[in-house]
């Protein structure tokens, strides 16, 4: 409590004043400027409008916004700045008129500001001061730490300012605040080496996709937040700093998910290029039940920083009880090669050490268990094995009972037999397909599909019944066959009559009468003679004329068939109407 | 000389039909079984040419239909691997529109999950299991999503649980085939004048038994087709199907419910705890 009371108060009672400026006030067409509004108030107290009124033709998009506390005597004075990125393609003067916002619930007037867009700005006009965001790589994998630098170049005269409240604005990444390093070093800017303030940290993307981010910070003059290393010559400006909210151009990170294919055992999220040092065992001769430490160092050999490294889990083996390190030693920046060389300023290489605690459970153990470990190499886009190898050891019998393994294993944490559910890998093929997600039984065609076999079976049943009936009544088939033959011969006779082919007419007529009479006897049609036909005609009450016609046809055909001299069949053509009637009578009898 | 020419001509003539015959056999072997049967029934050259032409014309058309479906699937996979989840979801959705497939729906669920669309992801995985209950990754995804989002599974009756053992359409065909098999084994021996054998009755009894066993699952598929999932976060469950209706409760995305009936732009759903109306686009049925 006393510590809290000893802190300086934040001044929220002073009259709130707002300033609004364009930085720079004069630009070329298409050149970016910043519209910056500042308040001497806390950011949360400002009720900022969603949209600002501005002259037509002036493109405005929301930029950085932030707050910094300045020490003014016994209290902190808050300063809030809100930036807009503005740009105009055309020449002219563009205004953002005066408007009011509520701060601490009271109206505060934001003064008007004017931007001049001219073809040739006056000589000596300086572009807007801004910071530069430099990310080592923009094509990353999820979880891959990347070095990010925020640079504020000094003036050509060697004057350089510090940056305060440096932030990265965007979504989907983590900023390693614990690993921030600040320095001033000469860097090339527009061909000249000028002292540059460098704020360096590590970004770790946490989601896949395209991530947009930009850096922002307040120019802080001679105030530095945290330790700083100055290399070369630099002039730090004196006097109270002018806190100006600066921001960088947005950059886009393309973040891909880690491939699930080829993942190796012991992967704990390590991404980069690592090397394993030789595992060091506390002693090579132990007794059953004694504790022995196994230390192994992991060195970062990649370009990326060694931000966080999780030790692989302890394996469960029969002869050893292994305890995973509770926490890996923090990564230390180290020189790579040659040993003893200074650490490159722009490389955050590092080394960390995992220390496992092992207890031999039997004297049969000849070596420590191998501990599976792997990492993902973003350069190769594949996983690499980094298994901690076994170390030979001699285990002597100890004072502990021989059945130690059982209680030790029983007391050890239970093994999770059920795998924790996780999002699966992508299916590599479309898999089982269907015409529709709607169930087949609910499709319109389904009743028809079910009716088809029903109709088939009904048809088969009906056909079988009919077949059995016909088997019992063969005369039905006989008559049907005779009727078909009669009609066929009848047609032949008609065609012959039309063609005046008397012999053919007579033959067809006789054949028609024979086939029509055959079922009544029954007999082979060709075996029937005229009297057989006449018998049927008489039975049906045929008159003499019909009988005469029948006789004449049979006479002529018999003569042509059996007599030495053929009979003249031409006269039969005239009997066609009578023949029609006879055949009709016979047809009726069928 | 003439004789030799004539001999050669005769030989060519005699070999040509033989070659055609072999070609025809080869083509017939390549044809689907149905076409072979048709070709067998129509032994005339016209019949053969007709069916061969039909296959030759229809085959590219079938390929054209299949190509976009698999092409879209591959596009979706590529977009997903490039972390373009919105593009992946779009491609997978288009692919399922052309041809619903279990793997495609599983991947669609993954993409929707990555986009934070829990309801759409759960629905896609459920649809994947509807088509293929043996799709274990989709089952694991559902378990993972329900644990992560604290969602419930649909409450299923026993016959609905049985219906989840096989793909939804299988039960339909099993029930139909077994019923008609039983009917056929009773009827056909008499019709075909076969001597009645014990195995006829055994097969008929087996068919009848399978039919009776599959009927509950068949009904389960029917009732499960009314199961759906809330698609949007904090969906209002309304007392009446009106815009200004009193809210009964808010439903989480991915929560299961059963469709009771539809009225205008609203659907009446029954969740595990409440009954109310939601807007039609806020609710997705497993059957699409």
| Cα distances (angstroms) measured from residue A486 to each of A199, A517, A549, A553 | 114, 9, 17, 16
- B121 neighbourhood in chain A, CB within 8 Å: none
Minimum CA–CA partner of B133 in chain A? A432
* Sites in chain A below the pLDDT cut of 70: 1, 303-307, 326-349, 399-420, 538-543, 564-567
Output the pTM of the full model: 0.58
pLDDT means per 10 residues, chain B with 288 residues, are 35 41 44 41 49 63 62 93 91 94 96 94 96 94 92 93 93 93 92 89 95 94 94 93 90 94 94 92 92
A213 token code pair: 């981010």
What ipTM was estimated for this complex? 0.74
- B176 neighbourhood in chain A, CB within 8 Å: 449-450, 453
Contact between A426 and B81 using a beta-carbon 8 Å cutoff: yes
- A425 neighbourhood in chain B, CB within 8 Å: 137
Contacts of A222 (CB under 8 A, 6+ apart): A161, A162, A236, A237, A238, A239, A241
Predicted confidence at residue B214, as pLDDT, reads: 94
Contact between A424 and B110 using a beta-carbon 8 Å cutoff: yes
Q: Which residue's structure tokens are 């109407």?
A: A577
Minimum CA–CA partner of B147 in chain A? A421
Minimum CA–CA partner of B111 in chain A? A426
Predicted confidence at residue B27, as pLDDT, reads: 42
The nearest CA of chain A is from the CA of B85 a distance in Å of 8
Predicted confidence at residue A413, as pLDDT, reads: 53
pLDDT digits (tens, 9 = 90+) for A65-90: 999 988 777 888 899 999 999 998 88
Size of interface A-B (CB pairs under 8 A): 136
Predicted confidence at residue A338, as pLDDT, reads: 45
Q: Which residue's structure tokens are 């504020």?
A: A152
Predicted confidence at residue B113, as pLDDT, reads: 94
- A465 neighbourhood in chain B, CB within 8 Å: none
Predicted confidence at residue B61, as pLDDT, reads: 55
As a three-state string, the secondary structure of A325-348 is: CCCCCCCECCCCCCCCCCCCCCCC
Identify from A430, A433, A457 which residue to disrupt to test chain B contact, counting B C-beta atoms within 10 A and taking the largest count: A430
Contact between B106 and A425 using a beta-carbon 8 Å cutoff: no
The interface residues of chain B toward chain A in range 187-206, judged by CB-CB distance below 8 A, are 187-188, 190-191
Cis bond before residue A24 (omega within 30° of 0): yes
Complete DSSP assignment for A531-549: HHHHHHHHHTT--HHHHHH
Predicted confidence at residue B29, as pLDDT, reads: 46
| Cα distances (angstroms) measured from residue A201 to each of A136, A172, A215, A304, B274 | 11, 16, 12, 11, 52
Q: Which residue's structure tokens are 């093929």?
A: A429
Contact between A441 and B100 using a beta-carbon 8 Å cutoff: no
Predicted confidence at residue B18, as pLDDT, reads: 44
pLDDT digits (tens, 9 = 90+) for A96-128: 999 999 999 999 999 999 999 998 888 777 777
Q: Are A332 and A319 in contact (CB under 8 A)?
A: no
What b-and-e string marks burial along B132-141, b requiring 16 or more CB atoms within 10 Å of the CB?
A: bbebebbbbb
B229 touches chain A (CB under 8 A): no
Give the domains, in start order, of chain B with CATH numbers: 21-151 (1.25.40.10), 161-224 (no CATH), 227-285 (2.30.30.40)
Identify from B97, B131, B169 which residue to disrupt to test chain A contact, counting A C-beta atoms within 10 A and taking the largest count: B169
Dist. CA A571–CA A558, nearest whole Å: 15
The nearest CA of chain B is from the CA of A174 a distance in Å of 18
Where would I find the beta strands (DSSP E) of chain B?
227-230, 235-238, 247-251, 256-263, 266-270, 275-279, 283-285
Minimum CA–CA partner of B129 in chain A? A432
Q: For a pLDDT cut of 90, what percent of chain B falls above it?
A: 66
């Amino acid at each position: 409590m006393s510590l809290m009371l000893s802190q300086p108060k934040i001044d929220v009672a002073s009259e709130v004043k707002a300033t609004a400026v364009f930085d720079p006030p004069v630009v070329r067409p298409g050149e970016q400027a910043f519209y910056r509004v500042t308040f001497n108030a806390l950011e949360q107290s400002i009720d900022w409008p969603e949209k600002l009124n501005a002259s037509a033709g002036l493109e405005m998009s929301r930029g950085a916004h932030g707050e910094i506390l300045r020490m003014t005597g016994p209290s902190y004075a808050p300063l809030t700045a809100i930036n807009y990125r503005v740009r105009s393609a055309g020449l002219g003067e563009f205004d953002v008129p005066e408007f009011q916002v509520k701060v601490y619930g009271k109206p505060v007037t934001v003064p008007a500001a004017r931007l001049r867009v001219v073809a040739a700005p006056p000589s000596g006009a300086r572009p807007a001061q801004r910071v530069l965001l430099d990310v080592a790589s923009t094509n990353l994998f999820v979880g891959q730490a990347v070095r990010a630098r925020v640079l504020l170049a000094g003036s050509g005269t060697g004057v350089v300012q510090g940056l305060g409240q440096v932030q990265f604005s965007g979504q989907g990444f983590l900023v390693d605040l614990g690993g921030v390093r600040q320095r001033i070093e000469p860097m090339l800017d527009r061909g000249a080496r000028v002292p540059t303030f460098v704020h360096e940290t590590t970004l770790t993307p946490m989601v896949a996709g395209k991530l947009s981010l930009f850096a922002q910070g307040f120019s802080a003059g001679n105030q530095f937040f945290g330790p700083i290393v100055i290399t070369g010559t630099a002039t730090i400006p004196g006097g109270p700093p002018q806190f100006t909210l600066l921001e960088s151009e947005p950059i886009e990170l393309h973040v891909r998910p880690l491939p699930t294919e080829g993942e190796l055992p012991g992967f704990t999220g390590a991404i980069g290029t690592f090397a394993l040092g030789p595992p060091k065992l506390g002693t090579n001769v132990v007794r059953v039940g004694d504790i022995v430490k196994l230390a192994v160092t992991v060195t970062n050999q990649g370009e990326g920083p060694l931000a966080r490294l999780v030790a692989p889990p302890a394996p469960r083996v029969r002869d050893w009880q292994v305890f995973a390190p509770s926490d890996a030693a923090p990564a230390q920046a180290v020189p790579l090669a040659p040993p003893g060389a200074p650490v490159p300023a722009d490389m955050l290489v590092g080394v960390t050490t995992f220390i496992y605690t092992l207890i031999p459970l039997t004297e049969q153990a000849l070596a420590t268990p191998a501990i599976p470990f792997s990492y993902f190499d973003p350069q190769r886009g594949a996983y690499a094995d980094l298994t901690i190898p076994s170390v030979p050891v001699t285990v002597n019998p100890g004072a502990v009972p021989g059945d130690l393994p059982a209680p030790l294993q029983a007391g050890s944490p239970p093994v999770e037999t059920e795998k924790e559910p996780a999002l699966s890998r992508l299916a590599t093929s479309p898999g089982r397909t269907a015409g529709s997600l709607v169930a087949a039984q609910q499709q319109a065609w389904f009743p028809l599909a079910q009716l088809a076999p029903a109709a088939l079976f009904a048809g088969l049943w009906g056909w079988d019944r009919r077949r059995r009936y016909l088997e019992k009544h063969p005369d039905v088939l006989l008559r049907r066959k005779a009727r078909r033959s009669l009609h066929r011969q009848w047609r032949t006779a008609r065609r012959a009559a039309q063609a005046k082919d008397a012999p053919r007419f007579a033959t067809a007529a006789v054949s028609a009468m024979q086939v029509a009479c055959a079922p009544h006897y029954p007999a082979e049609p060709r075996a029937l003679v005229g009297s057989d036909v006449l018998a049927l005609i008489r039975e049906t009450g045929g008159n003499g004329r019909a009988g005469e016609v029948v006789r004449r046809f049979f006479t002529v055909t018999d003569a042509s068939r059996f007599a030495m001299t053929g009979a003249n069949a031409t006269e039969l053509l005239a009997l066609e109407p009578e023949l029609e009637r006879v055949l009709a009578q016979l047809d009726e009898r069928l | 000389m003439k004789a030799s020419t004539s001999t050669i001509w005769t030989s060519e003539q005699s070999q040509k039909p033989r070659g055609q015959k072999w070609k025809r056999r080869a083509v017939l072997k390549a044809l689907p079984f149905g076409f072979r049967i048709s070709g067998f029934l129509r032994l005339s050259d016209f019949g053969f040419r007709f069916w061969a032409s039909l296959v030759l014309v229809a085959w590219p058309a079938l390929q054209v239909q299949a190509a976009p479906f698999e092409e879209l699937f591959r596009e979706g996979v590529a977009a997903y691997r490039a972390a373009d989840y919105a593009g992946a979801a779009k491609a997978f959705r288009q692919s399922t529109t052309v041809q619903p497939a279990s793997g495609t729906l599983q991947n669609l669920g993954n993409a929707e999950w990555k986009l934070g669309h829990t309801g759409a992801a759960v629905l896609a995985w459920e649809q994947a299991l509807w088509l293929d209950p043996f799709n274990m990754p989709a089952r694991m995804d559902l378990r993972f999503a329900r644990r992560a989002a604290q969602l419930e599974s649909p409450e299923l009756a026993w016959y609905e649980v049985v219906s989840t053992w096989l793909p939804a359409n299988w039960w339909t065909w099993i029930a139909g085939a077994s019923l008609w098999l039983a009917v056929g084994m009773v009827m056909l021996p008499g019709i075909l004048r076969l001597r009645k054998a014990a195995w006829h009755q055994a097969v008929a009894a087996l068919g009848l038994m399978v039919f009776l066993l599959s009927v509950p699952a068949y009904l389960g598929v029917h009732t499960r087709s009314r199961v759906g999932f809330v698609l949007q976060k904090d969906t209002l469950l309304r007392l009446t199907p009106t815009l200004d209706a009193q809210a009964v409760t808010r439903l989480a995305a991915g929560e299961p419910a059963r469709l009771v009936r539809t009225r205008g732009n609203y659907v009446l759903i029954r969740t595990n705890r409440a009954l109310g109306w939601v807007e039609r686009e806020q609710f997705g049925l497993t059957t699409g």
